Chain A
């Protein structure tokens, strides 16, 4: 991220916090929601669930934005909120690859995937929700296992294990 882009984000957030006006919020929304929605869609697979998560994530973000200390980019902070909302949304359907459940059952990813990524996106959607989250957060979003452990409330060792299983399963799906 360039310094100029970082200053624009800070200025926009500061303006929104100072006025709480709708125009400032819409600029924030339009800048970050495509990334938030993309992440939610990959973690949950269903459009309606992803939309609900985006809505809930923005409610929490606007409530807490005043306390944001810029120790990470605002995009990273917002994605953390999305991940937490996704966990809550799918709490009853959180499944992991285990030795007892090697075959994954996934929901079809109903998104307008880019032509070059359609196979990968569909394969990711077929992973069980738990290891899919680890894979998306590590290999696509670039999070560390420590960060993933905090976000998903799992041990970093579990994160590494699930990533191993996810990558192995994806290879078999993409062959």
Chain B
């Protein structure tokens, strides 16, 4: 029966989940150590993002993401009727905590809220640096926007 001991490839996204989990527990060091100044800048930008969103604007502050740490992906956050049932003010804290956790896990992230335009579903975005599309998809799946019923479109940024 030992000939039936065949290995089974796990889902690609599982690797990123495992790595992120080990990073958050300090069992694995991130691929690229960022300086304390950059981490502080990203954290400050994320906090500004949360405060601005509470005021109805999403002034996230511009933080230049490191250019040499892999591809960047934009997570386009689309509103849906289901999401509209959740008041925006109640989501601020969740989005802010999520972005802080993503940053703590070793990913560079920034985001902006867009002004409402009648008939348009695009409400905001995050730009995140991730080692692969699968990693970006795994991150997007954990975003509160997805859990609250919103739709997230993922596009890789073409560096020019």
A residues sitting closer than 8 Å to B (CB atoms) are 19-23, 25-26, 29-30, 33-35, 37-38, 41, 47, 50-51, 54-55, 58-59, 62-63, 111-112, 114, 117, 120-121, 139-142
Q: Classify the secondary structure of A's interface with B.
A: helix
Q: Which of B23-31, B51-59, B150-158 contacts A (4 or more CB under 8 A)?
A: B23-31
Which residue of chain A is the closest to B25 with respect to CB atoms?
A59
In the complex, the chain A residue whose C-beta lies closest to that of B23 is A22
Chain B: residues with Cβ within 8 Å of the partner, total of 24
Given A34-B7, A47-B11, 10 extra CB contacts under 8 A:
A30-B15, A41-B8, A51-B11, A54-B10, A55-B14, A58-B18, A59-B22, A111-B8, A112-B8, A141-B2
B28 touches A22 (CB 8 A): yes
User: Is B1 in the interface zone, CB < 8 Å from A?
Assistant: yes
Closest residue on chain B to residue A29 by CB atoms? B15
Whether the Cβ atoms of A26 and B15 lie closer than 8 Å is yes
The residue in chain B whose Cβ has the minimal distance to the Cβ of A63 is B27
Q: Are A37 and B31 in contact (CB under 8 A)?
A: no
A19-B29, A22-B31, A141-B5 are known contacts. Are A37 and B19 too (CB-CB below 8 A)?
A: no
Q: Report whether B15 and A33 are in contact in the complex, using a CB–CB cutoff of 8 Å.
A: yes
Residue interface mask B126-148, A partner, CB < 8 A = 1: 00000000000000000000000
Of chain A, the residue at the smallest CB distance from B5 is: A140
Which residues of chain B are near A29, meaning CB under 8 Å?
15, 18-19
Cα separation A122 to B14 with both chains bound (whole Å): 24
Complex Cα gap A30–B14 (Å): 11
Q: Are A26 and B19 also in contact (CB < 8 A) when A34-B8, A37-B10 are?
A: yes
Pair A62/B22 contact, Cβ less than 8 Å:
yes
Asked whether, in the complex, the Cβ of B11 is within 8 Å of the Cβ of A139, the reply is no
On whether the beta carbons of A22 and B30 are closer than 8 Å, the reply is yes
Q: Is the CB of A140 within 8 A of B1?
A: yes
Q: Are B29 and A140 in contact (CB under 8 A)?
A: no
Question: Which residue of the partner chain, among A20, A30, A51, A139, contacts B28 with CB atoms under 8 Å?
Answer: A20
* B2, B21, B23: the one within 8 Å of A139 (CB): B2
